[in-house]
Chains A and B, each alone.
Chain A
Amino acid sequence: MPSQLFVSIVEIGCFFALIALGYLIVLYGAGFFHFALGPYAMFSALGAAYWVTASEWPLWVAVVAGVAAAVALSVVTELLVVRPIEKRVRGEELPSLIAVVATLFAVSQLAGTVFGRKPFPGQPWMDFEDPIEWGEAVIGGQTVIIVGVTLAIFILLAAWLRWSRYGQWLRAVGENQEAARTLGFPVARIRLAAFAVGGLIAGIAGPLFSPKAGVNFESGLSYSLFGFIALVMGGTGSIWAPLAGGLILAALQIAASYLFGSPSLNYATLIAAALFFAFRPEGLFARRVRH
């Protein structure tokens, strides 16, 4: 396979990995699949692009504003949607699922209303005059930034989970909220932290990736969906599992496009997801249950 395609795999894989990481954090802290993360990433990217293009803000201000918006949306979702519903229907998971799907749609429509329905180009974070040539492949400046920021986020988050108070609590709570509450953990605050951090990661991922091909208000759905598949493929056993899952999914998609033509991307994703769901839903790096 031509080396240029590996560059594409790394770029796309990092993006999926970040979204999957967001899912993992919220799963750890609230036992919940945060399907609305994709639109938060989209909102941040679209907002940043809009504020740079139409409002003529400097890039850094726009990106920070986008990230802040993503965090705010995530926190609001937890406080106003997920928490009240989970309280009302203890045990039944369908209402929360519907609610987060409704949120996914609502955030997309909100972005479309506020920023307009036309696609916007992403804004590169740095101006690189000459792309790097590596053998036959050409590596643009934004690609280097994508890889750098992704690794930085993973490393920082791994450190946070291990050494900070909230990070350790997050790992302890996991999916057993009741037990954690009985043991005296501040479950409500931990959940909030999880949602906030999930939103933060998504908020950074959006503007990071959008310079590649732009963003529009409907982009969030595929971000959410592929991020979820990346999470499932990687598994929940390690903080680095989403990175593996993201790269694997990206490799699958690009290889399918290259070998069989562009439509195979969606067929391959469907088949791979169905196979993983049916035979290995715990993913590659499964969380080992302590007996």
Chain B
Amino acid sequence: MKSKAFKLWKSVALTALAASAVAALTFPAVPARAQDKSPIVIGMLEDTSGGASFYSQLTAGSIKVAIEEINAKGGVLGRPLKLIEESDANNPSQSPALVSRMIQNGAKVILLNSGSASAVASKKTLSEQKIPGLAPTNIDTRIGSAPDQEYSFMLPNPITDIGTIYAEAFKKMGVKTLGVISDDSPTIAGINGLLLPKIQAAGVTIVAQEKAPLDANDVTAQIIRIKEKKPDAVLVCSLGGQLEVLFENTLYQQLRKTPRFSLASIGNQPSTWKLAQPNALDGLVYAASIASNNPRSAALSKLLTAKQGAKFLGLTAYEAQGYDAVQLVKQAIEKAGQDDPTLIKTGLEHLSGYKPSFGSEKFTISFNPGKHIGTDGLCGLVLMQFKGNKPGAPFKTYQAACD
């Protein structure tokens, strides 16, 4: 006679088996063998809700416009491109699993469109599963550098280039002491780790370094601590969004006469400019990437105005780099002749002289097996200065030279 307890556990087992059957049904089926007309799947890791969402969604918008444009002209190798998306909410510990999931769902290339830290976290997964990943807008140098960088590529000027440019600008302005205010995201931590030593190596002393959490609602104490050290200039290192607006508002209130610098964030996020108090952004210098003499920037601007209408607030680095990333992937697939990931990676590594829609007119992008950071030179960056709460003119004191 079987005991009651045994029967109970048997029913538990049955329930669990049923549950795992349900779970199995939710897993996607193995993709069918590639046929001539089946789509080439591109995965996009993005941020739809976290600290990086301010720029991630700008990039995602132009990526989708680029894919639409390509598909309208017949696709790549006669096949349409299909985009699948996963959001990691700017949490790098989620990124590897989400990248794995997209690969499981058939992605042959991954566009890394979340924060820098997410891209860094994904490198190992990409190299283990031999799927190439391209980061259109992340500036953390580690993305394109060893270790684990065999399948990992980045498009923009890395933060070390911004460091070089700012160091030169500070030298020209006679800035000897700097105050730095940052947010506490892993992306900015990584970036500061690469940026600040470069500035210090050029002879600038950092006299104050303050941090604020991403959800801070008051930064007066931090700004006053910086104020008391009387720096020659202040640098704001932030992902952008509301927190940077709060930084700038408070800096304007407390340190109006001190020159202010930002990274590439707020200057490239037009939706945040109206959140600042009147005139609070006046004089702020930031690293833009759109030069007025680049015809491809103008062409892309027109395309996005047509496709996105009122949502398009003006071309920034983010949209341009997203668009260019898709074009580079397209060329790599064409070089490969098929959607095999390793061949696509090799295809990327043999792209050179690509003329992007950001940076100066003569600026080019190229990769090779030892160079996974796309920029050829510093003039992918343009220093711009705010006038009132809108970008004004290029920063007169210093600009990076194009060689």
Contact = CB atoms under 8 A, between A and B. Distances in A.
A contacts B: CB pair < 8 Å: yes
Nearest to A218: B215
Contacts of A219: 215
Contacts of B242: 119, 121, 213-214
Contact of B222 (A116, A119, A121, A257): A257
**Contact-residue bracket for chain A:** 20 to 34
Contacts of B222: 257, 261-262
Interface string B170-214: 000000000000000000000000000000000000000011110
Interface stretch (A2-10, A70-78, A93-101, A171-179): A2-10
A262 B53 contact: no
B226 to A, nearest CB: 11
B206 to A, nearest CB: 15
A12 B224 contact: no
B224 A212 contact: no
Contacts of A254: 218, 220-221
A262 B246 contact: no
A212 B210 contact: no
Contacts, number: 70
A262 B224 contact: no
Contacts of B224: 2, 4-5, 258
A116 B48 CA distance: 9
Contacts of A222: 215
B49 interface: yes
B215 A4 contact: no
B52 to A, nearest CB: 11
A219 B217 CA distance: 10
B129 interface: no
Contacts of A212: 217-218
A190 B376 CA distance: 72
A10 to B, nearest CB: 11
Given A2-B224, A5-B221, A222-B215, A118 B49 contact: yes
Contacts of A103: none
Contacts of A258: 221, 224-225
Nearest to A217: B49
B49 A117 contact: yes
Contact of A121 (B210, B211, B219, B275): B275
B32 interface: no
Interface of B: 48-50, 53-54, 89, 210-213, 215-222, 224-225, 241-243, 245-246, 253-254, 275, 278
14 contacts: A5-B221, A8-B221, A12-B218, A118-B49, A118-B53, A121-B242, A138-B253, A214-B246, A218-B215, A261-B225, A262-B210, A262-B211, A262-B212, A263-B211
